Amino acid sequence: MPNNGKNSTQISNEQKDYKPVPSQSKETKQPHLIFDDFNIDVAIKVLSATLFSPFFVIFLPAPLLTQTSSTHPAFIFTCIWTCLICLIGIWNHIDRIYNSGGSWLLAPKKLNWNKQIVLITGGGSGIGALLAETLAARNISVVVLTKYRPQFETKQDSIYTYICDVSDYKNVQAVAQHIREEVGDPTIIVNNAGVVKGKLLLDLTEDDITDTFGSNTLANFWVLKAFLPALLRKGEGHIVTVSSLLGVVGAAQMTDYCASKAALINLNQSLRFELDNRYETPNIRTTILLPSFIQTSLFSKIKLPTEQSKIFKFFCPDLEPHSIVKVIIDNLESRESKIIRLPFYTNASRFINDFVGITPNWLKDFVQHVSGADHAMVDYGPKPDAAERLIAEREKQKGE
């Protein structure tokens, strides 16, 4: 285990003894009605604990029978509903047991945080920084890899910061050696680093594409190659991959981002098969997150219909960084391999993506239009962009 201390070791001596904290928004939220935060995700949570919960519906038929006969349609429907929910509950329970290696009756053993060293890439800001601070507040050892010098300083003694370009294989290998010697072998890896260019395909430069795939995709490979061997020797651990909804369904002005995040989905699945069937280490868990747009600096200029439509905001609520952090920590504590989709509406991507191919094109195009995804990044990239230049050229040709 590492020795906790104020000083963090970094590759650059010039930046030694410097550690980050997550940025704090200068804006203060104004008081609002509680109903302003009511959305479909809240409704689903309530229903999951009541009408869709086996432990709730199993008690419905008996009291109903005292008020009516066994042949009454309401009683018959209640019995059918109870059986259906219980069957789904058993199905989900089997899946949880399989993914966590638990027993039929007992929950899997909770994670012992005192023995964990958590490595977080992209931990200098946004979700990574918030996750690091949250874990460090529990006195958990956290190793943060960040490309740039963090803008804010943290007072947490259990955060160890290393300046590292995770898209550079040699840089990752060099930093990994320092981490092993000074902190220890990470037992949990959170691959969170990522960049967004927000340009149309023809506006992307070679450097843009290389940087996107380096940070969003290749970094995952380099970090795993550096730290996975230690997990294999121990035979347990957890690897968390932060992908995106846009790795499942595409959007205009996000070609490089979508492709880089799609690669992570197959990386996670293939790694799961390797761990189970080749390395024979099923106790190393793998989790992948497929969130929609998260309110961080990466998507600070994004434009979605949620700003104008309350109905759209109800069905497609904004995703706050703290929601992602809570889900990650809960998943680590459960020690379960999992695919996490947030918010609830992202589950629709299971059916409307081209991999499944069961949704007609007209319906996919309608959903794409309503979501506003193809125009969400209009404030990114050069002005005029490639599409605007083409339209101007066409108008000029018509004028001639």
pLDDT, tens digit, 9 for 90 and up, residues 99-109 = 877 666 666 77
Highest mean pLDDT among 220-229, 297-306, 331-340 belongs to 220-229
**Which residues are known to be catalytic?**
257
Residues comprising the chain, all counted: 400
Fill in the amino acid letter for 301. Answer: K
Answer whether residue 342 shows pLDDT above 60. Answer: yes
Per-residue pLDDT band at 13 (split at 50, 70, 90) = very low
Yes or no: is domain 13-22+110-375 CATH 3.40.50.300?
Answer: no
The predicted structure's pLDDT at residue 103: 67
3-state secondary structure 3-68: CCCCCCCCCCHHHCCCCCCCCCCCCCCCCCCHHHHCCHHHHHHHHHCCCCCHHHHCCCHHHHHCCC
Q: Name which of 48-57, 177-186, 292-301 the model is least confident about.
A: 292-301
The residues facing 377 across adjacent strands are none
| Most confident range, picked from 14-28, 229-243, 375-389 | 229-243
> How far is 176 from 157, CA to CA, in rounded Å?
20
> What percent of the chain has a predicted confidence (pLDDT) above 70?
88
Which of 125-134, 198-207, 339-348, 352-361 has the weakest average pLDDT? 352-361
| pLDDT the model gives residue 104 | 66
Alpha helices of the chain — where are they, by DSSP H?
40-48, 54-57, 61-65, 73-100, 126-136, 169-182, 206-213, 219-234, 255-277, 310-315, 321-334, 349-352, 361-371, 386-399
Could you tell me if residue 53 is left (phi over 0), alpha (psi between -120 and 50 degrees) or otherwise beta?
beta
Cβ burial, residue 246 (10 Å; 0-12/13-18/19+): buried
Q: Is the pTM of this model over 0.75?
A: yes
The mean pLDDT value for 301-318 works out to: 81
Three-state secondary-structure class, residue 181? helix
Q: Whole-angstrom Cα distance, residue 177 to residue 6?
A: 20
Q: So what's the pLDDT on residue 107?
A: 66
In tens, the pLDDT along 255-291 reads 999 999 999 999 999 999 999 999 999 999 999 999 9
pLDDT digits (tens, 9 = 90+) for 222-265: 999 999 999 999 999 999 999 999 999 999 999 999 999 999 99
pLDDT at 23: 38
Q: Are 139 and 158 in contact (CB under 8 A)?
A: yes
Q: What is the pLDDT of residue 17?
A: 38
Model confidence band, residue 312 (pLDDT cutoffs 50, 70, 90): confident
> Where in the sequence of the chain do the CATH 3.40.50.720 domains occur?
13-22+110-375
Q: What percentage of the chain reaches a pLDDT higher than 90?
A: 66
Place of tokens 């690669």: 263
Q: Flag the least confident range among 10-24, 27-41, 97-111.
A: 10-24
pLDDT of residue 151: 67
Structure tokens at 98: 């399989």
At 353, list the tokens: 């993506």
pLDDT tens for residues 181-214? 999 999 999 999 999 999 999 999 999 999 999 9
Is the Cβ–Cβ distance between 331 and 340 less than 8 Å?
yes
Q: Average per-residue pLDDT in the chain?
A: 87
DSSP letter (8 states) at residue 169: H
Task: Indicate whether 25 pLDDT > 70.
Answer: no
Kindly indicate the confidence band of residue 168, based on its pLDDT and cuts at 50, 70 and 90.
very high
